[in-house]
Amino acid sequence: MQDRYGRIIEYMRVSVTDRCNLRCVYCMPREGVPGVAHSDILTFDEIERVCRIGTTLGITRIKLTGGEPLVRRNLPDLAGRLTAVPGIDQVTLTTNGTLLKDNINALVSGGMKYINISIDTLDKERYREITRGGSLEDALDGLRAALSFPELTVKINCVPLEGQRAEEWIRLASIARGSRVEVRFIEMMPVGLGRQFSGQTQEKVLSVLREKFGEPERYQGRLGNGPAVYVHFPGFCGRIGFISAVSHRFCGSCNRIRLTSTGCLKPCLQYGGGADLRGLMRQGGGDDEIREAMYKTIYNKPAGHHFEEQNIREDEEGKFEMKEMSRIGG
């Protein structure tokens, strides 16, 4: 469906858990996020129901995310169930990859065709620092497992941090030289803990890569669900992408909404509030009632974020999302 600004909303990011087995410094507090009771998290039946109703409003693509989606037990079953919902054309997964090796067979046999793996550096020690204790080898095992399925589209997501050595971006980008992987650099967003960190602009990363790999061609086609712009370096198998929500604002073409693990439908990453679909479902709400709540949320999606306003005005406190990225389906 279209929102009130005429944008077509067709893509829903579904967070299946707030929990994560890593503690990336810009995403998750060292001590983890406050525990949410299992009973407060949407069940697979409830998630499937929201997705099914979403299809009647034009939602055709679902991204499973978190927290770390693979810490949720039987996640591949959910992925398979959503893939089978009539009207859903695509179910994708964003994961840190560390639990992927053990889940890949079940995911692929359930119909999963697209997986994004977040790896910010290929330096073992830096990886451990950024993730506060994570094992790069586990993430790379996940990447290798995914690449062993030729039918899977695999992307790597990296949030380049200020102070990171340029060599780290070159190493990550080099993966796209030798294999059919898209490597994407995502600009740090001032959401949750991200407010305390500075990222790197796409121009900076691109200039480093250009110096190393030569002049890239701009890729004009569309790849995936989002706002990434892609370039193609000479001799590379995969493309390099940039997603820069702050410096290259793309709100005018935003196509997404978000369902949190506790069943709140959020129209924009930066705004607090949203529709309490869990409450509606658990009070016995019918499909029409839930559809109406989804319709209103989508229709009233804000025109855009205000990330550039670092200092929120007093009268706007409460309007903006203050939770960590891992709790809002980043």
Residues that bind ligand SF4 (CB under 6 A): 20, 22-24, 27-28, 66-68, 96, 118, 326
CA torsion sign, 59 to 63 to 67 to 70?
positive
CB 320 to ligand SAM: min, Å: 14
Site string for ligand SAM, 98-127 (x = CB under 6 A): --------------------x---------
Residue nearest to ligand SAM (CB): 194
Of 10 and 120, CB closest to ligand SAM: 120
Helix (H, G, I), strand (E, B), or coil: what is residue 37?
Answer: coil
Q: Which of ligand SAM, ligand SF4, none interacts with 28 (beta carbon under 5 to 8 A by kind)?
A: ligand SF4
CA 284 to chain centre: 31
Q: Which is nearer to ligand SF4, 71 or 205 (CB)?
A: 71
275 binds ligand SAM (CB under 6 A): no
Contact (CB, 8 A) for 93 and 69: yes
- Does residue 142 contact residue 101 with C-beta atoms inside 8 Å? yes
Pair 65, 94: CB distance under 8 Å = yes
Buried b / exposed e across 124-150, counting CB within 10 Å, b at 16+? eebbeebbeebebebbbbbbebbbebe
Using CB under 6 A as the binding rule, the residues of this chain from 299 to 318 that contact ligand SAM are none
* Span near ligand SAM by CB under 6 A; candidates 76-84, 90-98, 146-154, 304-312: 90-98
65 binds ligand SAM (CB under 6 A): yes
* Binding mask of the shown chain, residues 170 to 199, with x at each position contacting ligand SAM by CB under 6 A: ----------------x-xx-x--x-----
The per-residue b/e assignment along 58-96, b for 16 or more CB within 10 angstroms, e otherwise, is: ebebbbbbbbbbbbbeebbebbbbbbebeebebbbbbbb
